Amino acid sequence: MKNLLEIEIGEVWVEGEVSNLRRQASGHCYFTLKDEGAQVSCVLFRGHAARAKTQPENGMQVRVFGEVSVYEARGQMQLIVKQVEDAGLGDLQARFEALKRKLDAEGLFDPSIKKALPEFPVAVGLITSPTSAALQDMLNILSRRAPWVQPVLYPVQVQGAGAEHGIARALEQWGEPEKHGLPEVDVLIVGRGGGSLEDLWNFNEEVVARAIYACPVPVVSAVGHEIDFSIADFVADMRAPTPSAAAELVVPDAVDLRARVERLSQGLKRVVDARLKHDEMIVRSAKRALMPRDAERALREPIMELDRMRQELASAAGLEMQSMSGRVKELTLLHAAHHPEKVMQRRSERLDHAKVLFEMAGKSGVQQMEQRLRRLSSLVKTLGPDATFARGFSITMDAEGNVIRKVEDVEAGDVLQTRLAQGSVLSEVQRR
């Protein structure tokens, strides 16, 4: 196959759209060239890549010159690219630019309408895939930086046909959380990990952009890697280069907060100490200026006032520390109660309980049907012909098997058949 392709086809020009671009540390580039009906794997080795005037990018429409070959290890046909030319923007990139211009003209990107992120959020909503590595990264960072913050997950599909509608629905429902049974959150993070332009395309759909624009809760867009840009990034109140960076943006660092509180505490202490020293200097000056017999009387109230201020300051500082400590404990308990693992555990318990109720209801229904069947069987036996025969009754029929109900139904000479409980009797009518 390799020899046949290289000899019979050899070097060709191929035009298509670049996707699934992967640049290796070695300098080699691997990508797929596609159009509406087919695709082919391509490799651009380091030497040709260094000399290429056009570097391939995802979504770019290019013309490449290369040699058709077979990668024997996988049995896969591929194109060994030697030259790359820009053939214009690809279809996806063109759609991206068109929608970007449209929404920008409508004012959806206006910096003046973007909402500020809360400085100290208590609950953070996460709109992403429940099985993604991006979710675990965000949960780890939120737990490490701000353990008092409660993360709340709205699981959605972030890739594939129709995924944009699930993302938009999550944004719309969190705009009215009470109506849809969702907890209130202070800020939303919507996004996913990296991928190709096609993988990230759901975040370039108009329905997602308009849902972000209409959401009353501040939205942080975290789609792909730092080099990836989506329509959602331009509409959101804040764009984060990665989901991990988004988690760092929305919550403060507990270590920094502790250091800030310590600095404020030290600054307050310096101000209070300076004020006390100043007042003490005034008191000493007054004591020196007054006559000895009047000094005690003149300084009695200032000294008592100074002692009172010291006591009130110490008491206020203690109460404030107790209040802050209580708040931290309260937030810690709230976080533990609403952690996704706890929520899933409670839902599993409700599911087990529902399963038991369903089994009990099924058994009860079967028992009721069995009892009804027995009653009907007994009734059939009681009302059936066999029971009638057993009580001494019989049925008389003519030769054709028609039941004789009155004397007028027979004539002299007719042959009759009489069915009894056990057997039957044939008879002839002599008169009536």
Tell me the C-alpha distance between 258 and 70, whole Å.
61
In a shared domain, residues 116 and 245: yes
CA dist., res. 235 & res. 213, Å (int): 6
**pLDDT value at position 282?**
85
Could you report how far apart the first and last alpha carbons of the chain are, in Å? 105
- Averaging pLDDT over each range in 65-79, 298-312, 318-332, which range is the top one? 65-79
Two tokens, residue 400: 């054709």
Please check whether residues 112 and 80 belong to one and the same domain: no
| 158 and 112 co-located in one domain | yes
**Which CATH number characterizes residue 39's domain?**
2.40.50.140
What does the alpha-carbon distance between residue 277 and residue 263 come to, in Å, rounded to a whole number? 21
User: Can you tell me the distance from the alpha carbon of 298 to that of 164, in angstroms, rounded to the nearest whole number?
Assistant: 79
H-state helical runs in 224-339: 231-235, 243-250, 254-289, 292-337
286 with 405, same domain? Answer: no
Residue 319 lies in a domain: yes
As a whole number of angstroms, the distance between CA 55 and CA 346 comes to 53
| pLDDT at residue 290, rounded to an integer | 56
369-387 in b/e form (b: 16+ CB < 10 A) is eeeeeeeeeeeeeeeeeee
Query: Of 89, 113, 147, which residue constitutes the final position of a domain?
Result: 89
Q: How many CB atoms lie within 10 A of CB 352?
A: 10
Give the DSSP H/E element, type plus range, for residue 143. helix 133-145
What is the distance between the alpha carbons of residues 383 and 11, in angstroms, rounded to a whole number?
93
Read off the tokens for 150.
Answer: 């409660």
Tell whether 31 and 173 lie within a shared domain: no
Residue 161 lies in a domain: yes
Alpha carbons 153 and 98: distance in angstroms, whole number: 32
Structure tokens at 240: 């984060």
62 in a structural domain: yes
pLDDT in tens, 313-340: 888 877 888 888 778 788 777 766 666 7
Q: Which pLDDT band holds residue 374 (cuts at 50, 70, 90)?
A: confident
Residue 264 falls inside a structural domain: no
Q: Could you tell me the CATH number of the domain that includes residue 232? A: 3.40.50.10550
Mean pLDDT of 412-424: 83
Mean pLDDT of 263-271: 87
232 with 215, same domain?
A: yes
Q: What whole-number percentage of the chain has pLDDT above 90?
A: 41
Residue 288 dihedral angles phi and psi, to the nearest 5°: -70, -30
DSSP label of 403: B
pLDDT of residue 337: 67
Nearest to 209 by CA among 302, 297, 106: 106
Strands (E) across 4-105 are located at 11-23, 29-34, 39-44, 60-71, 76-89
Residue-wise pLDDT for 123-142, tens only, equals 999 999 999 999 999 999 99
pLDDT exceeding 70 applies to what percent of the chain? Answer: 93
The verdict on residue 373 lying in a domain is no
Please check the confidence at residue 2 and state whether its pLDDT lies above 90.
no
d(CA 128, CA 130): 6
The tens digit of pLDDT for each residue in 157-205 reads 999 889 999 999 999 999 999 999 999 999 999 999 988 777 889 999 9
List of residues 6+ apart from 153 with CB closer than 8 A: 126, 128, 130, 135, 340
Residue 115 has pLDDT above 70, yes or no: yes
Residues 55, 84: Cα–Cα separation, whole Å: 7
Q: Are 20 and 165 part of one and the same domain?
A: no
Same domain for 197 and 127, yes or no, is yes
Expressed as residue numbers, the domain containing 11 is 2-89
Q: How confident is residue 298, by pLDDT bands cut at 50, 70 and 90?
A: low
pLDDT at position 18: 93
Q: Which amino acid is present at 14? A: V
81/66 Cα distance (integer angstroms): 4
Q: Angle at Cα 101 formed by Cα 165 and Cα 126, nearest 5°?
A: 35
pLDDT at 109 over 90: yes
Residue 40 located in a structural domain? yes
Which of residues 63, 89, 115 is at a domain's end? 89
Query: Ranked by mean pLDDT, which of 64-78, 210-224, 306-320 comes out on top?
Result: 210-224
- Backbone torsions φ then ψ of 31, nearest 5 degrees: -155, 170
Which of 217, 250, 283 delimits the end of a domain? 250
> What distances in angstroms separate CA 341 from CA 141, 311, 336, 344, one per listed residue?
17, 47, 9, 5
Q: What is the pLDDT of residue 296?
A: 59
Give me the sign of the Cα torsion angle 293, 294, 296, 297.
Answer: positive
Tally of domains within the chain: 4
- The reply to whether 104 falls in a domain is yes
Is 415 within the bounds of a domain?
yes
Q: Are residues 191 and 276 in the same domain?
A: no
Query: What pLDDT score does 236 carry?
Result: 96
Domain identity same for 243 and 142: yes
Q: Which of 254, 178, 194, 249 is nearest to 218 (CA)?
A: 249
Q: Let me know whether 103 and 235 are in one domain.
A: yes
Query: Do 194 and 67 share a structural domain?
Result: no
**Residue 177 near residue 188 (C-beta atoms within 8 A):** no
Q: Give the separation between CA 135 and CA 341, rounded to whole angstroms.
A: 13
Q: How far apart are CA 67 and CA 187, in angstroms?
A: 52
